[in-house]
Amino acid sequence: MNKTVQLVFVSLLSFSFVIVTIFVLLSAQGYNFDLNKRKIIETGGIYVKTAQPGAAVFIDGKYADITNSFTRDLLVQKLLPGSHNIKISREGYFIWEKDLSVDEKMVTKAQNIILFPQDISFNPLMSDIEEVFEIGNNVFLIQSTDGRLVWFDSAKDFRKDVLSAKEFKAIKGIKKIEFSPDKQKALISAKDGKYYLLSLDVNSGNLQLIEGLDKNISYPEFNGNSNIYHMSKGYLYSLNLINKKKELVKEEQVQGFALHGDGLYTLEAGLLIRTNVYIKTKEILTKAVFDFKKGSDYKLHIIEGRIFLIEDGRVFYYYNNESKGFEKVIESTKEVRYRSWSDKVVFVTGNEIWLMLLKDFESPFFRKADSFIFLSRFSEKIDDIAWIDDDYFAVIIGGKIRISEIDIRDRINFFELDEENHLKVWFSKDEKALLVLTGGNLSKSTKILP
């Protein structure tokens, strides 16, 4: 090898060394070479956090690592900007998968990822059930087919009769049950228009007919534990359950009312008014008069501290504190049902599910408060729905139980649990399990959360 060749070889070797060194240094600083764009660009990353430790994370089909045993998270760095497929798996669990976008110098987050077990079984709790009324987490009032009312705590597996079959005969069918704030009293609306008060802190033998309420009243609601507010012929009344005294609350006619804390909210001549129930101060909350439809039924309702106006059970208006008016958020040809969770509300309209955020959200997506988001549409009717945690809920569709996330980035992950013909579903926070009503049987699942 002559000197010229040697010089060229050494020069090429030196040049290659410099190029490799530059790439190594750039890579260490978060840069990479994009073959498609043929240029050096800054990279980004993906941060995942799972409820279970040791979950395998795959990026674009390639194994990255497992989530930490203690912190249950993983940061994958040096990813080129663009869309990346993330798949998270663990043996015996449903796979979580989503395509997420990564930007330069930014970390895309996928947090509170729950892997739900594939093998979920249901164990029987009670049978011969006519109806189930939820009192609170884990606690239910159950109407049996033989006419008893049973107070049941699923977490403690404790039950007691609060109304015997003989006492139950006085009630000509239950239409609806409202519970007092302390959950110790039940206001039973019977199908014949009569109202009964049932104490839940003692055994059977405590059913009382409420003389001051009849079929001519509407929307009875507890104010504290000893007063029932209700409407009759357009006027708002209060009935004291202790001294049986009935008083007119408002001299003016009202189109609807709701109670929340120390506030009494009424619709008077189309205006929303808040009255302090203790010091009687009044504040008009709306700027413009609401246009009521003749012949329609209206109900004010407070959901997680927010004011809603419900028209005929099918149209929901939301009170916007900034615009000082009601805004229509949902309209359906069928009755709208909802379930709230702290800072969000999920609505069910026949075969569709919508989500409303009550505060600004940064995770799992960036959305402002009052955002109304379409989640899913199904070919079959939605029978029932129940929140599991901040980001997941259980839903019964055509009798089948599915679990859904609310993360609308890319496709929504759905996990179908079983094929049974279920009617209703609840989630027990204490037991971390689902409770389902199937036919006349109440059952509890094995744990679905770690």
Three-state SS string across 339-376, please? EEECCEEEEEECCEEEEEECCCECCCCCECCCCEEEEE
| Rounded (5°) CA angle 337-338-341 | 165
Number of domains in the chain: 3
Q: Classify residue 367 by burial, with Cβ atoms within 10 Å: 0-12, 13-18, 19+.
A: middle
Same domain, 223 and 297: yes
Same domain, 229 and 269: yes
The verdict on whether omega for the bond into residue 364 sits within 30 degrees of 0, i.e. cis, is yes
Asked if residue 47 is part of any domain, the answer here is yes
Same domain, 292 and 230: yes
Asked if residue 20 is part of any domain, the answer here is yes
Q: Write the CATH number for 103.
A: 2.60.40.10
Domain end, chosen from 113, 131, 151, is at 113
Domain end, chosen from 113, 146, 164, is at 113
Cα 317 from Cα 356, distance rounded (Å):
12
| Predicted local distance difference test score (pLDDT) of residue 29 | 46
Cα 320 from Cα 257, distance rounded (Å):
17
| Predicted local distance difference test score (pLDDT) of residue 21 | 44
| Predicted local distance difference test score (pLDDT) of residue 25 | 40
Same domain, 26 and 62: no
Asked if residue 278 is part of any domain, the answer here is yes
Asked if residue 340 is part of any domain, the answer here is no
Phi and psi angles of residue 332, each rounded to the nearest 5 degrees, phi first: -140, 155
Same domain, 219 and 325: yes
Query: What is the DSSP track for 164-222?
Result: -HHHHTTSS-EEEEEE-TTS-EEEEEETTS-EEEEESSS-SS-EEE-TT--TTEEEEEE
Q: Write the CATH number for 224.
A: 2.130.10.10
Same domain, 302 and 231: yes
| Predicted local distance difference test score (pLDDT) of residue 31 | 52
Contact 117, 92 (CB under 8 A): yes
Asked if residue 449 is part of any domain, the answer here is no
Domain end, chosen from 77, 93, 113, is at 113
Low-confidence spans in the chain with pLDDT less than 70:
1-40, 202-205
Same domain, 9 and 59: no
| pTM of the model as a whole | 0.88
Contact 342, 384 (CB under 8 A): no
Contact 434, 394 (CB under 8 A): yes
| Predicted local distance difference test score (pLDDT) of residue 294 | 87
Cα 449 from Cα 239, distance rounded (Å):
44
Which residue, chain included where needed, has tokens 């080129």? 80
| Predicted local distance difference test score (pLDDT) of residue 20 | 42
| CA 121 to each of CA 124, 154, 333, 445: distance values in angstroms, whole numbers, following the listed order | 10, 16, 36, 6
Same domain, 30 and 47: no
Same domain, 54 and 77: yes
Query: What is the DSSP track for 379-424?
Result: SS-EEEEEEEETTEEEEEETTEEEEEE---SSSPPEEE-------E
| Predicted local distance difference test score (pLDDT) of residue 24 | 42
Asked if residue 102 is part of any domain, the answer here is yes
Which residues neighbour 207 within 8 Å (Cβ) at sequence distance 6 or greater? 163, 167, 170, 171, 196, 197, 198
Q: Which domain holds residue 71?
A: 43-113
Q: Which of 293, 294, 297, 271 minimizes the C-alpha distance to 282?
A: 271
Same domain, 47 and 30: no
Handedness of CA 408, 413, 419, 420 (dihedral sign): negative
Asked if residue 30 is part of any domain, the answer here is yes
Asked if residue 422 is part of any domain, the answer here is no
- Local structure of residue 17 (DSSP, 8 states): H
| Predicted local distance difference test score (pLDDT) of residue 110 | 94
Same domain, 306 and 214: yes
Same domain, 21 and 81: no
- Displacement of CA 163 from its chain's centroid (Å): 32
Contact 159, 149 (CB under 8 A): no
Cα 82 from Cα 99, distance rounded (Å):
10
Which residues neighbour 306 within 8 Å (Cβ) at sequence distance 6 or greater? 318, 319, 358
